[in-house]
Amino acid sequence: MEISKAPTVENRSRNVARSTIIVMIAFGVAKVISLAQVVLIANVFGVSAEWDAFVIANRLPEQIFNLLAGGVLAFAFIPIFSGLLARGDLDKAWRTASHVVNTVFILTFLISLIVFIAAPWLVANVVAPGFDSANQQQTVELMRILLFSTLIFSVSGIIVGILQSHDHFLLPALAPIMFDLGLLFGAAFLVEPFGVRGIAIGAVIGALLHLGIQIPGLIRFRARWTRGLGLKDPDLRRIARLMLPRMADLLLFTFTGIITTNIVSRLGTGAASALDWGWRLMQIPQTLIGSAMATVIFPTLAALSEIGDENGKRASMSGAVRFILIATIPSAIGLIFVGQPIISLLERGAFDTSASALVYSTLRFFALGIIVHSVLEVVTRGFYADKDTLTPLWTSLGGSIIYITLAITLSGVNSVEANSFQNLAVRQMPFLSLPTVSGSVGGLALANTLAYSFEVIGLLFILRRRWRGIQESALAQTALKTLAASLVMALAIVIVNALWVSLGLAERGLAFTIAQIVIEIGVGTAVFLGVAILLRMDELRTLLTIILRRKPAGAAA
């Protein structure tokens, strides 16, 4: 039996490795395009009221997609649809897929229509009460445009799940790149005639490209569409039951997102922009590391859970988390120490001194979140693989309570402005009635990092008890060694920066800024790898073996 299964395991490992490479390359290309967007947008809008309006306007449309198509796609639709394909029941599989697409599209349309009509009231009373009337009106206009992209994504997002269920990752990996190209087109060509609305129009164009690039995949797999919502379809009901806890989690996330926009709208012009710029920069390494690993490891964990392989789950989870620690700890510390020249490179004079300081203060606290956000993406997959969607919901509830409390406290919203907001939150959670202290938009970033840290620690503790261990000794050893190597790396960056300033090379133009970033990152990387080798970090050697020699992931493990 074992001999007959060996080739299957080996092939699966190769497929996982190939899929990981595809996803990481695609994410990398998308982030390069995203950086081009950042440069263009930062040079036009900087930290301004217009960009504040766009950032706030995008919140609700984004959350509508996450709540419906996002919740169905990641943890409910794919397992059911894949099971039907595995049993060879193609007619039932495509009928269920059609029911999911139809139902999600109708729900998204109805909710989007309500938000479209109620946008003026929502912006003025819930989303951004701190904006002046002109900025609120601009936020309403942008929100209404962005709702069209949400409607398109409600279909396109599920198509991603359909193609991934067929073990096809190329087109779904290209789809985010197409969306970013649409945004880039808006930033490059539509801003001049339409102002900030050009970015919103670019988002709609990007959503259409996101959908269009995947159509050939549907043709290849002979997709079949049927009418009707299929409310009596038992498989649709199974998907609904699986997605309910996840939807509750996303509702909670939406609620905290609205609270964030409510608070940040009261912190003055540029606060929402600074929070957005810090988040965007943090998302670059977090997506390349955490999201890519989570995308690939989830099917493996689900398969191991299905056959009851406890040892395999522990090894896979431990290996994934160790990889994330090795990649994210130096990334977080490096971003803190190289953050200022990176910001100056991207904005290229669009920010004044106070604006740059505001963005950097936000980035520093978000940078620490690279680690916990990335680990959380993988750890939650362990629970979803065991078909447990409730435990992540409870920890998310605890994290949200911590975030809201800290956000009110650390943001520095004064007591007069905070009263109306606190009354809104306290009606549901009385313990949120706390005095505020002086702070800034960076306090929101710190609150985010601390709240997600609570979720990661809680989930790891529960997973350790449930799986009777997660190779925690190896995890702790990897974390300590990586932290030591990262601190030495930080010292090297500080020395290089001091030498750069003493030689009078700082603030001498674009070419010198690029050279400074390249040299600091290059020296930091070399020092980190050198210290890691001295500390005998076997995980790095294993990772290089997989990449350079193309060994199957299972063999390396």
- Of residues 291 and 423, more confidence is placed in 291
Q: How many domains does the chain have?
A: 1
Length of the chain: 557
**Higher confidence at residue 236 or residue 376?**
376
Query: What whole-number distance in Å separates Cα of residue 301 and Cα of residue 289?
Result: 18
Q: Is pLDDT larger for residue 223 or for residue 214?
A: 214
Q: How many of the other CB atoms lie within 10 Å of CB of 114?
A: 12
d(CA 101, CA 99) in angstroms, rounded, equals: 6
Q: Within 10 Å of residue 195's Cβ, how many Cβ atoms?
A: 14
- pLDDT of 89 higher than 50: yes
pLDDT greater than 70 at residue 4: no
**Mean pLDDT of all residues in 106-113:** 92
Is 184 contained in some domain? Answer: yes
Is residue 474 situated within a structural domain?
A: no
Q: Rounded mean pLDDT of 418-431?
A: 40
Name which residue leads in pLDDT, 302 or 280: 280
Distances (CA, A) of 486 to 158, 323, 463: 40, 15, 28
Which residue pairs, CB below 8 angstroms and at least 24 apart, start in 427-436? Answer: 429/401, 429/404, 431/405, 432/404, 432/405, 432/408, 434/405, 434/408, 434/409, 435/409, 436/408, 436/409, 436/411, 436/412
- In angstroms, the Cα distances linking 450 to 16, 333, 413 are 32, 16, 19
Locate 104 and state its tokens: 């999600």
Contact 116, 148 (CB under 8 A): no
Q: How many CA atoms lie within 13 A of 312 on its CB side?
A: 18
pLDDT value at residue 505:
78
281: pLDDT confidence band, cut at 50, 70 and 90? confident
Establish if 87 belongs to a structural domain.
yes
Q: Is the pLDDT of residue 9 over 70?
A: no
At 71 the pLDDT is: 56
Give the range among 9-13, 287-291, 488-492 with minimum mean pLDDT.
Answer: 9-13
At 27-83, the pLDDT tens digits run 777 777 777 776 777 777 766 778 788 888 888 888 788 777 665 566 677 767 776
How high does pLDDT run on average in the chain?
79
Return d(Cα 14, Cα 239) in angstroms, integer.
30
Other C-beta atoms lying within 10 Å of the C-beta of residue 260: 21
How does DSSP assign 358-424, residue by residue? HHHHHHHHHHHHHHHHHHHHHHHHHHHHTT--HHHHHHHHHHHHHHHHHHHHHH---HHHHHHHHHH
Mean pLDDT of 400-427: 63
Higher-pLDDT residue of 276, 197: 197
**pLDDT number for residue 495:** 93
Domain membership of residue 243 (yes or no) is yes
247-261, 310-324, 440-454, 539-553: the lowest-pLDDT one: 539-553
Is-contact 294 381, C-beta < 8 A? yes
Please state which of the ranges 19-23, 314-318, 373-377, 503-507 shows the lowest mean pLDDT. 19-23
Residue 121, classified by CB atoms within 10 Å of its CB into exposed (0-12), middle (13-18) or buried (19+), is exposed
549 or 73, greater pLDDT? 73
In percent, the amount of the chain with pLDDT more than 90 equals 19
Q: Which residues contact 440 (CB under 8 A, 6 or more apart)?
A: 267, 358, 361, 411, 412
Q: Which of 261-270, 375-384, 396-405 has the lowest mean pLDDT?
A: 261-270
- Chain mean position to CA 230: 32
Residue 145: give the domain boundaries: 25-247
User: Comparing 46-50, 125-129, 276-280, which segment has the lowest mean pLDDT?
Assistant: 46-50
State percent of the chain over pLDDT 70. 82
- Look at residue 7 and tell me whether its pLDDT is greater than 50: no
Predicted pLDDT of residue 144: 95
Q: Please compute the mean of the pLDDT values over residues 202-216 and round it to a whole number.
A: 93
CA-CA-CA-CA dihedral for 113, 116, 120, 126, to nearest 10: 70
The confidence score (pLDDT) of residue 543 equals 58
Residue 178 resides in a domain? yes
Q: What pLDDT sits at residue 72?
A: 54
Q: Rounded to whole angstroms, how far apart are CA atoms 17 and 7?
A: 15
pLDDT at 430: 36
Residue 438 pLDDT more than 70?
Answer: no
Q: Find tokens 């909670």 and name the residue.
A: 252
Phi first, then psi: give them for residue 316, nearest 5 degrees.
-65, -45
Q: Is the pLDDT of residue 556 over 60?
A: no
End-to-end CA, the chain: 21
**How far apart (Å, rounded) are the C-alpha atoms in residues 465 and 413?**
40
Per residue in 505-540, pLDDT (tens digit) is 777 777 888 888 889 889 999 999 899 888 888 766
Assess whether pLDDT exceeds 70 at residue 419. Answer: no
pLDDT, position 78: 72
pLDDT on residue 434? 34
Question: Domain for residue 169, yes or no?
Answer: yes
Q: Report whether pLDDT(388) > 90.
A: no
pLDDT for position 428: 39
Report the C-alpha gap between 321 and 23 in whole angstroms.
18
Residue of higher predicted confidence among 349 and 177: 177
Which pTM does this prediction carry? 0.70
Q: Is residue 421 over pLDDT 70?
A: no
